[in-house]
A and B are shown apart, each in its own frame.
Chain A
């Protein structure tokens, strides 16, 4: 069992709960093969596919701006059977159905591969950084949330969550040969639904940070400092110095008070 298996189950349960609560939930299956994924795309994908930037005036839909709500994270497992390769779940309206040009945005990318190990965590994370690789789609430079824009130009060509999912799956499978299955869930129903999803995200991110620490430790770098005052053999000396300093300060102040009188 890998560290995120439980989170993958929680995402599955989250989808079931959303369905029970009457949210519109759609699921569709995309091809498993990277080349087939690319063949079905109405846009260019790959390095330099989106050479420019998408200005406010060029925006068809904005996803996950802070007012609307946002949550994005990735999970991985060495047990691909936990995932259904190519499955996309959409809870809420599609990009083409956005009435106001803005939608709340949750994105969970789940990847599986029998050969995946903890050390792949960094590569899995990097493979999800879109940068300039999807034509007409720009993820804004926000480090904590996922906040993105779809351009009018590709909006007019029918850019939807199907397009986005195909693109992401293609990029991940192309970059990481060890990945056997990819499943993606998008949530656009409401900010409140994203808050629920965020609880899973926070727990997963804590595990992700710990894995990152191990990744760097294996390379000889400590992200963390395990030392603290309580564990230091010089603690008594420091405590004594503090006492001396405090006494000196007190005496200085007393002397100053005497002078004032």
Chain B
């Protein structure tokens, strides 16, 4: 590949190791500062939910600081994913960041659109999932810290596999040791045992490449803490069945996913966050208060995908204000998890494999057979008293697009309206926010919901 210039005019392939490190660190710090700014703003909110936001951002910032410290001091750290058993990284005391961190967690950052343009200027196809395109851009333009080791991801889509290929060819990354646990196609006991063995191999790989050792006693502690966290999450999710739903898009749902597995999995601070979330929710349910004090709940939505992070602030509040439409459940807030049996090393790896192969969002739906698209919708519609299902049809979720018919037919059987939009969750230029609003309004009106 030719040397590529980023939108700051620097050819990443021409950088020395030190220059690359400084450039990546500068960007990583910029992202940290964005969250520090959000923390400062949240600090001024004297509400239980505001304090919840402060706790979340504190956990997030701490994980970012650990990565920054590792880069600066040349100590081991790892690039990985939420679905590659982050409990293992915590047990091995390995700081880590998610390769898709920016689209998943920092899509509200002011530079996102510039980065998407930068990716296009590099020649990346605009039909390639933005969540994949962005990290590719960061790798190619030297904006992502080069880790000591990479835990790759080979599911749920071809795009993730391609992402590993990009970093394997990048001059700064190609000598970074990479291990990608191999996910089987099926979801039976044999598949779980196979993947458990892959996770064990991942541990050996990390031990060899980072020098950090796995202590099984510590893994048990982390998994037990993770279980405490997940138990509270499930308890909280029951609250979202209440009519009106105590929280909408802003609190509880997607945050719960992030706190449980995107920063530090199995940490008492995460459990504490969920405890407070639960208390906030219980108070509102007991008082019969809904998500939005000013706009009462009229339509209960299941948004069956990631939230539209790239334009979430323009769309989700509009749904509440214009239609009284509350996001009661989404793919990432759903709770299909089983707890980890910590009675032995074997049971821990078995259940971590099960969780990361069959429970975590997107992997659960799109890795193997497609039955969860139907069964999860059925269960959520019934449990959460859903009035309509929206499959946003993110341009990168081509695997899901293939099952839109299954989802539509499932909803028809359940008697709930189904909307398939077709958009980019991160890039507002693909389908404009106004166009999405029009489609949703037309749908609500046509189905007699509004």
* Chain A contacts to B: CB under 8 angstroms: 51-56, 66, 122, 126, 129, 131-132, 138, 140-145, 202, 206, 209, 212-213, 216, 219-225, 249, 252-253, 256
Contact = CB atoms under 8 A, between A and B. Distances in A.
A141 B379 contact: yes
A220 B404 CA distance: 12
Interface string B400-418: 0001011001000100000
A133 to B, nearest CB: 9
Given A53-B241, A249-B168, A144 B338 contact: yes
A52 B243 CA distance: 7
A256 B383 CA distance: 58
13 contacts: A53-B242, A122-B413, A131-B385, A140-B234, A140-B238, A141-B237, A141-B238, A142-B336, A143-B376, A216-B374, A223-B406, A253-B174, A253-B175
Contacts of B378: 126, 129
A125 to B, nearest CB: 8
Query: Taking each of A132, A145, A223, which has the highest tally of chain B beta carbons within 10 Å of its own beta carbon?
Result: A223
Interface in B366-391: 369-371, 374-376, 378-380, 382-385
B238 A138 contact: yes
Contacts of A220: 405
Contacts of B241: 53, 141
Interface in B281-310: 282, 285-286
A224 B241 CA distance: 32
Given A224-B369, A252-B174, A144 B336 contact: yes
Interface of B: 168-169, 174-175, 185, 188-189, 231, 234-235, 237-239, 241-243, 282, 285-286, 334-336, 338-339, 369-371, 374-376, 378-380, 382-385, 403, 405-406, 409, 413
A174 to B, nearest CB: 16
A51 B243 contact: yes
Contacts of A249: 168-169, 174
Contact of B385 (A66, A132, A145): A132
Given A206-B188, A223-B370, A249-B168, A143 B336 contact: yes
Given A131-B382, A141-B384, A253-B175, 11 more contacts: A53-B242, A53-B285, A122-B413, A126-B378, A129-B382, A141-B334, A142-B234, A202-B189, A216-B370, A249-B168, A253-B174
Contacts of A142: 234, 335-336, 338
B175 A55 contact: no
Top-6 shortest CB links A-B: A131-B382, A143-B336, A223-B370, A66-B339, A223-B369, A141-B383
Contacts of A55: 239, 282, 285-286
B383 A131 contact: yes
Contacts of A51: 243
A104 to B, nearest CB: 15
B335 A221 contact: no
B242 A213 contact: no
A132 B231 CA distance: 22
A221 B403 contact: yes
Query: Taking each of B189, B235, B406, which has the highest tally of chain A beta carbons within 10 Å of its own beta carbon?
Result: B406
Query: Taking each of B369, B375, B384, B409, which has the highest tally of chain A beta carbons within 10 Å of its own beta carbon?
Result: B369
B194 to A, nearest CB: 16
Which secondary structure dominates chain B's binding surface?
helix
Contacts of A54: 238
Contacts of B384: 141
Contacts, number: 85
A202 B192 CA distance: 14
Contacts of B369: 209, 213, 223-225
A104 B34 CA distance: 48
Contacts of A216: 370-371, 374, 406
Contact of B371 (A56, A131, A132, A223): A223
Nearest to A202: B189
A97 to B, nearest CB: 25
Contacts of B335: 141-142
Given A206-B188, A209-B371, A143 B379 contact: yes
B285 A221 contact: no
Contacts of B188: 206
Contacts of A140: 234, 238
Contacts of B285: 53, 55
Nearest to A57: B282
Given A126-B378, A129-B378, A221-B403, A145 B168 contact: no
Nearest to A130: B382
Contact of A256 (B175, B185, B286, B380): B175
B95 to A, nearest CB: 27
A181 B188 CA distance: 31
A212 B335 CA distance: 22
A216 to B, nearest CB: 6
Given A53-B285, A129-B382, A213-B369, A219 B409 contact: yes
Contacts of B371: 209, 212-213, 216, 223
Nearest to A205: B188
Nearest to B168: A249
B426 to A, nearest CB: 27
Nearest to A50: B241
Nearest to B381: A131
Contacts of A129: 378-379, 382-383
A137 B76 CA distance: 50
A214 B173 CA distance: 46
Contacts of A131: 382-383, 385
Contacts of A145: 338
Contacts of A132: 385
Nearest to A245: B165
